[in-house]
C-alpha cells in the first residue's frame, strides 16, 4: 500500500486512482486472485475492509461487481467512479460520521438510492458527532497540523467496530472464523 504524508499528496494519489478506474480495478482483481489462490484462504468467502480512501475503493469495486461477499467501509468518501448498478454481488456496510464535511447529504442519498434501486443488501450507518477519520486516534493532531476537520471519536470507533464484526459474522455465518 501507499500512505501519503501530506493531504495534497493523498488527494493527488486518490484522484489518479479513481480517474483511472480500469487500472485500479485490474490491480484490485489481481490482488483478489492472489488472495484466493492462497492455501489458507477459503476462496468462496472473501470480504474487504477499507478506511477513508480504501473504503472508497472497496465501495467502487463492490459497485462494479467485484467477487466479494461483504465489504465494510469506514469514513469513506462517496464521490465514486462507479455507483451502485446491477451486478453488485457483495453485502455492503458503510460506516461514516454524520458530521463528516467531506460527505454530503446528496452523496449519501445518491449512494443509498442506488442500492435501493437494485435491491442491494446494504447498510449505511452514520454516527452523530463523528467527522472524518473518526477511527484514527491520531486524527486530532493531523487535523490540527493540516487545518482539516479530522477528529477521533472513541464512541463511534467502538460502535462501528462492533457493527463491522456483527456484519461479517452474519455474512460468513456458515464459516468458522
pLDDT-derived band at 47 (thresholds 50, 70, 90) equals: very high
Taking the CA atoms of residue 37, residue 38, residue 40 and residue 43 in that order, the dihedral angle to the nearest 10 degrees is -30
User: Would you say the C-alpha torsion 110, 6, 28, 55 has a positive or negative sign?
Assistant: negative
pLDDT tens for each residue of 28-45: 999 999 999 999 999 999
pLDDT-derived band at 148 (thresholds 50, 70, 90) equals: very high
Domain regions of the chain by residue span? 7-171
Provide φ and ψ at 64, rounded to 5°. Answer: -85, 0
pLDDT-derived band at 68 (thresholds 50, 70, 90) equals: very high
Question: Residues of the chain with pLDDT > 70: what percent?
Answer: 97
Q: Strand, coil or helix: what is 105? A: helix
- pLDDT (0 to 100) of residue 2: 67
Number of C-beta neighbours around residue 51 at 10 A? 17
Q: Which three cell numbers stand for residue 11?
A: 488527494
Give the ranges where the chain is alpha helix by DSSP (H).
7-19, 21-36, 53-63, 105-117, 139-146, 154-171
Q: Which three cell numbers stand for residue 91?
A: 453485502
Q: Strand, coil or helix: what is 118? A: coil
* Average pLDDT of the chain to the nearest whole number: 94
pLDDT-derived band at 149 (thresholds 50, 70, 90) equals: very high
- pLDDT (0 to 100) of residue 41: 95
Output the pTM of the full model. 0.92
- Is residue 132 within 8 Å of 75, Cβ to Cβ? yes
- pLDDT (0 to 100) of residue 175: 62
pLDDT tens for each residue of 73-111: 999 999 999 999 999 999 999 999 999 999 999 999 999
Q: Which CATH number fits domain 7-171: 3.40.1390.10, 3.40.50.1820, 3.30.56.10, 2.40.30.10?
A: 3.40.50.1820
Amino acid at each position: 500500500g501507499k500512505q501519503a504524508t501530506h493531504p495534497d499528496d493523498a488527494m493527488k494519489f486518490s484522484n489518479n486512482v479513481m480517474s483511472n478506474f480500469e487500472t485500479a480495478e485490474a490491480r484490485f482483481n489481481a490482488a483478489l486472485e492472489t488472495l484466493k489462490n492462497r492455501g489458507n484462504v477459503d476462496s468462496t468467502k472473501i470480504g474487504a475492509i477499507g478506511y477513508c480512501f480504501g473504503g472508497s475503493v472497496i465501495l467502487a469495486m463492490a459497485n462494479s461487481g467485484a467477487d466479494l461477499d461483504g465489504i465494510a467501509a469506514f469514513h469513506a468518501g462517496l464521490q465514486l467512479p462507479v455507483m451502485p448498478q446491477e451486478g453488485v454481488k457483495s453485502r455492503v456496510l458503510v460506516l461514516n460520521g454524520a458530521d463528516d464535511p467531506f460527505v454530503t447529504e446528496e452523496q449519501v442519498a445518491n449512494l443509498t438510492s442506488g442500492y435501493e434501486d437494485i435491491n442491494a443488501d446494504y447498510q449505511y450507518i452514520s454516527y452523530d458527532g463523528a467527522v472524518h477519520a473518526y477511527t484514527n486516534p491520531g486524527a486530532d493532531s493531523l487535523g490540527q497540523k493540516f487545518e482539516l476537520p479530522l477528529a477521533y471519536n472513541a464512541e463511534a470507533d467502538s460502535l462501528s467496530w462492533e457493527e463491522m464484526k456483527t456484519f461479517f459474522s452474519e455474512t460468513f455465518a456458515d464459516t468458522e472464523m
